[in-house]
């Protein structure tokens, strides 16, 4: 399946705020069900999550005023859980709140929203028929005029996989790219050369030539305060944060063989049967990086350019690979036949699972052993290679081409 929403809980490192990558571009996700033996639940087709859960401000809103009301409401049934996170300067802070006595409404403890922040809302509700639905939304708040801030990936003090790319998404276009690039420094211990690459005027990524070495400590210093980013526009932040690279895990999905080989520290850990994109909706080839991990999420084909073929409110064990919505995820609605035998999805990589995500299924096994920043590489698919700016796809670009994307020429930022 290809495209979706975000997390129901944070696992390992999280993407603090890739606004230009995933946050601002998307809402719901999508990888379609399908294939021989697809089965519906006991109550027929599940309801659309937006019809069960309402969230204010609207998903994808930008420049939300501080006095705007933040509310989550169950239209039908009651709220099972609500998690709201505020992201600022590469730090994620849970927003405290409380449910009403009838568990139909959630309100924050403080009504005033923070300036220059990104809010994400993950809610799970149970409708009147006992069916669970998950909804993920996000919005950003007002950034004062004549200031620019960078939303940073990954978050401070996180533990990530060896494929993590440092990504800065700016709140407005940057005209003075060289000046901004000089104000950002990414260093590693043990030392390794790290170079920048601009994707358009509002995104700056950093990576080494090869995947990070396990155990590397990476420090990102933002010295953007009062740096001119455009005529009359100046930076706001002066902050240093860091993250740690964990063990190496690279998983290779062979779309022709319908398998995923999971390698841990260079050793084959397991070969898992999968179903990839069907011939009419093939999975991207190339190296992709786990951007976020969700215990449960909604996948709606209408949000990603498909028709109304599917709307699944409770897809389990979902790991986002691209901003456009490619996932590795659990699939409970198909019979066991497609896994390891045929490709039936709408572009995602499906692993056998059960409704609710319990047990020791292949999807649960892979989810528990994954980190944000792990690499998933797809080979032998009939689709093109994923674009370098689709999610954290920069590893698909050669080192010379990557370095050429610096505004400072061949010497880069360092």
Catalytic residue numbers, as ranges: 329, 348
Q: Is the peptide bond before 322 cis (omega within 30 degrees of 0)?
A: no
Tokens of 336: 């066991």
- Which CA distances in Å does 389 have to 147, 171, 292, 392, 410? 25, 17, 16, 6, 21
Q: Cβ atoms within 10 A of the Cβ of 8, count?
A: 23
Is 175:230 a contact under the CB 8 Å cutoff? yes
Nearest residue to 281 via CA among 250, 332, 331, 324? 324
Which string of b and e fits 138-172 if b means at least 16 CB within 10 Å? Answer: bbbbbbeeebbbbbbbbbbebbbbbbbbbbbbbbb
- Which CA distances in Å does 225 have to 150, 235, 239? 11, 5, 9
């Amino acid at each position: 399946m290809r495209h979706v929403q975000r997390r129901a809980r944070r696992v390992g490192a999280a993407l603090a705020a890739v606004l230009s990558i995933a946050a601002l571009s998307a809402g719901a996700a999508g990888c379609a069900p399908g294939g021989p033996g697809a089965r519906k639940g006991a109550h027929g087709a599940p309801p659309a999550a937006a019809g069960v859960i309402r969230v204010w401000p609207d998903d994808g809103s930008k420049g939300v005023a501080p006095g705007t009301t933040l509310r989550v409401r169950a239209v039908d049934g009651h709220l099972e859980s609500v998690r709201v996170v505020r992201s600022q300067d590469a730090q994620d802070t849970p927003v405290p709140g409380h449910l009403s006595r009838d568990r139909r409404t959630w309100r924050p403890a403080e009504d005033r929203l923070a300036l220059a922040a990104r809010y994400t809302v993950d809610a799970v509700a149970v409708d009147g028929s006992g069916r669970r639905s998950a909804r993920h939304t996000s919005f950003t708040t007002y950034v004062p005029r004549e200031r620019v801030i960078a939303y940073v990936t990954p978050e401070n003090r996180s533990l990530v996989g060896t494929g993590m790319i440092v990504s800065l998404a700016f709140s407005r276009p940057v005209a003075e790219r060289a000046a901004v690039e000089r104000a950002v420094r990414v260093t590693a211990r043990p030392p390794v050369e790290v170079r920048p690459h601009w994707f358009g005027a509002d995104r700056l990524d950093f990576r080494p030539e090869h995947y990070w070495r396990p155990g590397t400590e990476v420090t990102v210093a933002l010295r953007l305060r009062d740096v001119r980013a455009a005529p009359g526009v100046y930076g706001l932040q002066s902050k240093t944060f860091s993250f740690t690279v964990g063990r190496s895990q690279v998983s290779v999905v062979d779309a022709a063989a319908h398998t995923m080989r999971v390698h841990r520290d260079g050793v084959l850990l397991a070969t898992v049967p999968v179903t990839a994109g069907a011939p009419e909706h093939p999975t991207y080839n190339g190296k992709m990086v786990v951007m976020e991990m969700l215990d449960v999420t909604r996948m709606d084909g209408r949000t990603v350019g498909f028709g109304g073929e599917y709307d699944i409110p409770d897809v389990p064990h979902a790991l986002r690979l691209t901003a456009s919505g490619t996932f590795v995820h659990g699939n409970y609605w198909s019979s066991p036949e497609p896994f390891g035998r045929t490709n039936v999805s709408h572009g995602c990589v499906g692993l056998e699972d059960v409704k609710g995500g319990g047990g020791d299924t292949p999807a649960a096994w892979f989810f528990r052993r994954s980190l944000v920043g792990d690499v998933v590489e797809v080979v032998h698919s009939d689709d093109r290679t994923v674009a370098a700016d689709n999610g954290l796809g920069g590893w698909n670009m050669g080192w010379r081409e990557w370095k050429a994307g610096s505004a400072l020429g061949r010497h880069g930022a360092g």
